[in-house]
A and B are shown apart, each in its own frame.
Chain A
Amino acid sequence: MSFFDLPIVTSGPAVSGACASGGCATGGCASGGCSTARPDLKSETSRRDFLKTATTLTLGAMSLTLLPGAMAGDDAVPPASKPSGFPSHAKKPMYGFLIDTTKCTGAGKCLTACRVENGVPEGQARTWVERYVHFKDGRVEVDLVPEIGYAASGEPQPAAEDVLRAYFVPKLCNQCVDAPCNQVCPVHASIKSPEGIELVDTDRCIGCGYCVQACPYGIRYMNHETNVADKCNWCYHRVMRNEQPACVEACPTGARVFGRIDDPDSEISKRLATLPTSVLKQHLGTLPLTRYVGLTDEVT
C-alpha cells in the first residue's frame, strides 16, 4: 500500500447527492449533516468535509511514518542484499554463533581479521578476546588479548606456578532476539535483518548514542571516523555471499563456529545438540543468539 492508495475522502453527499446516513435522498435529513438538504449550511459542510479529508490524510501519513516496517514487510531489504542461495519465497535462514572457550588459545587472529574486514578504527572494537587468569591466592585478573598476540606484545606474563587456571573468552555481538539497542533507537537506524541479524543503517543514524548505552555487553560504539553507531554484524555482507564471518575464517582452533541453526546437519547445530552452552547476562532477558561453551561466573 502506498501513499497514493490511501482512500481520499471527498465531499460525499454534496458531490454525489447520495447521503451517507441513508435517510435523506431529497431533503429533510434528520442527521443534519447533508448539504443537499440544507443548502444554507453549505460552507459549514465544506469546512467539515475539508477537516475530514485533512484528518484522514494526516492519520494516513502518520501511519506511513510510524509503521514503515509494517508497510514494507520483507521487501524492506533491497534485493541486492538478499542471500543468493535463498529465494525470496523460502523461509529465511536462522543463524547462530557458538564460542567454545575451551578451544580459544588467544591467538588474536580473529581481531586483526575483523579490523581489516570491517575497517574498525583504532581504539574501538567489534570483537575482542578476554583472558581470565585465576591465581592460587584467589585473585582473578582479566585483560585483553593484544591483536599481535601476547608473545609479540612483550607484556610481562604471570608466573605459571602462581596460576590455578586460565582461559580466553572471545566477545562479539550477541545478536539478541529482544535487542535493547534495537528497541531504543529513535529513528529506525537499528534494524534487524530477515535472518535475525542486528544491523545499523548508517544513512539513518543520528548519532545520539542511546543504543551504545542500551547494549548491556559494550558491543556498540560511536565510530570515531564515521560518526555513527557501529557494531559487530556477524559480517553480514559476507554471510549474504554464503561466506563465513572474517573472525570465524581466521580462527586457527575452531573456537568460533557460525552457521545455520535451522539446519540440523550444520556444524553449529551438531555442537549445540551435544555441548552444554549458556549465554552472557542471561538475567537481562535479551535472548542472545551467541552461545558459549565453558562460561564461568566471572565472565560478565
Chain B
Amino acid sequence: MEYHALHDAPFVFPNDAYPAWSIMIVLYPYITGMVAGAFVVSTMYHVFHREALRPVARLAVVTSLCLGACATLPLLLHLHQPQRALNVVATPSPSSAMAGFGFIYSFYMLVLLVDVWLLFRPAIVERAHSAPGPWKNVYRVLALGVLEITPRAAEIDRKLVHALSVIGIPAACILHGYVGFLFGAIKANPWWSTALMPVIFLTSAVVSGIAVLTLLYLLLCRSSRMEPDEECVRSLSRLLWMFLVLAVTFEFGDLLHVAYEREEEWHVIRELLVTKLRFSYLTLQVLIGALLPLLILPIPAFTRVASAAFRHSCTGVAAVLVLVQVAAMRWNVVVGGQLFSKSFRGFVDYPVTWFGREGLLAAAVVLAMPMLLLWGAMKLLPVWPPSPQSESGAKT
C-alpha cells in the first residue's frame, strides 16, 4: 500500500509555522528578472541588429537600469539586520551561493550604467550646451565635464556600447540564473531543489522583461498620442511568444518529471498544488498567465488580421497576462516552497499583511519605485530613438 503521510493528521515542525521568506523575496526575483529581460531586448538591437526593435532599444536599457537600481530594495526590507547588509560584500563566505549576489549584481549594474551613459552621451553633451537655466548644469554633471564629442570619440563610444552589450548578455544571464540557483540549490526543499531552477528563472526573466517593455512601449505611445511602430510590436510579440513557450516548457517539464517519476516528495507537491496553490498555480500561472497569452500572442505575432490597433491591444493584454504569470510563478516558488513543513506531514499558511516593512503596501511601493525612476529618467534622457536623418548627420 502506498503510504501518504499527508492523509493522516497534519503535523508541522514548530519552527515551520512562520515562513521565513516574505513577499519581498517574491519581488526580488520578479524585479531582477525584468532587469535581465529588458536588457536582453536591448541587445537584440545593439548586438544582433534586429532593426524592428530600434524604437524600444533605448527604452529597454533605461528600463533595465531603473529596475536594477531598485532590485536590492526588497532585500533590504526583508533583512532582519539591514544595517549589516554590506557584510555580504565585506566579509563574504565563499561557500555561500548568496554571497555572490553583491559581486554579480555590482558588476552587472556597472556594465549597465556605463552602457547607458555611453549610449546617451551625445544627447547629454548636446543638452549641456542647449538646455535652459540650471538644467545645463545638471547635464554638465551627467557629461562628467566632457562637453565635446569628436567623431573619433563617437566611434569609440559606439564600439564600447557594442562591447558592453555583448558583455551584458552573459552578465544578465548569470544575474538571473544565479537567482534561480539560490533556490535550486536548497536540497532541504523538494519544491525548489532542481538543477533546472536557474534555467526556469532565466527564461521567465526574459519573458517578464519583454512583457514589461512591451507594455511600457504601448502605454507610452498612447500617453504621448504616438502610433506604435507596427513592426516593433510584431517583433516584441514574436519574442514574447517564443520565450513564453520556452519558459512554460521548462516550468511544466520539470514538474511533469517529478510527477511521472513519482519522486519521494511528490505526494507533498501534489497536495500543495491542488490545495494551497490551486488558485495561484493552476488558475493564475497555468491557465490565465500561460495558456491564454500563448493563444492570444500568435494573432499579433504571425497574422495581420483585423486592424493594427486590435493587434496592438492583443499584445498589450498578453503582456499583462504574462506579467501576472511570472509574478504568480515567483509567488508559487518562494511562498509555495514554505507552505509545507519539512516534516512533509502538514501545511502552514502565509500571513498576508497590508502594513509593515514586508506588507502589501510596502511591496506596492517597491514595485512603483522603478516606474518613478523611469519617469524621471525619461525627463532627463531621450529614450525614443533619434530620427534616421539626425543619426546619419551625426555619423558624417
Identify the A interface with B (CB < 8 A).
65-68, 123-125, 128, 130, 138-144, 171, 180, 182-188, 204-210, 212-222, 227-228, 284, 298, 300
Contact = CB atoms under 8 A, between A and B. Distances in A.
B187 A186 contact: no
Contacts of B9: 139, 141-143
Given A140-B5, A209-B21, A216-B188, A221 B93 contact: no
A6 B18 CA distance: 48
Dominant secondary structure at the A interface = loop
Interface stretch (B117-125, B128-136, B340-348, B388-396): B340-348
Interface in B1-20: 1, 5, 8-9, 11, 13-18, 20
Nearest to A143: B11
Dominant secondary structure at the B interface = loop
A184 B96 CA distance: 4
Given A65-B92, A125-B14, A185-B93, 4 more contacts: A65-B90, A187-B84, A206-B79, A216-B342
7 contacts: A65-B92, A125-B15, A140-B5, A142-B343, A204-B87, A209-B20, A300-B344
Contacts of A125: 14-15
Size bracket, chain B contacts:
35 or more
Nearest to A217: B342
A121 to B, nearest CB: 11
Contact of B93 (A186, A209, A216, A218): A186
Contacts of B185: 184
B11 A130 contact: yes
B91 A187 contact: yes
A65 B93 contact: no
B85 interface: yes
Nearest to B344: A300
B345 A205 contact: no
B98 A66 contact: no
B105 to A, nearest CB: 13
Contacts of B80: 206-209, 222, 227-228
A214 B93 contact: no
Given A205-B81, A220-B15, A213 B91 contact: no
B345 A142 contact: yes
Nearest to A203: B84
A215 B188 contact: yes
B275 interface: no
B137 interface: no
B387 interface: no
Interface in B65-112: 78-82, 84-85, 87-88, 90-99, 101
A3 to B, nearest CB: 14
Nearest to B102: A186
Contacts of B101: 186
B357 to A, nearest CB: 11
B21 A66 contact: no
A78 to B, nearest CB: 17
- Top 6 A-B pairs ranked by shortest CB distance? A207-B80, A218-B13, A216-B188, A209-B20, A142-B11, A221-B15
B186 A213 contact: yes
B186 to A, nearest CB: 6
A216 B265 CA distance: 13
Nearest to A62: B92
A261 B293 CA distance: 61
Contacts of B15: 124-125, 212, 218-221
B91 A218 contact: no
Contact of B78 (A65, A208, A298): A208
Contacts of A206: 79-82, 84-85, 87-88
Contacts of A300: 5, 342-345
Nearest to A212: B20
A210 B16 contact: no
B68 to A, nearest CB: 20
Contact of B96 (A124, A183, A219, A298): A183
B93 A188 contact: yes
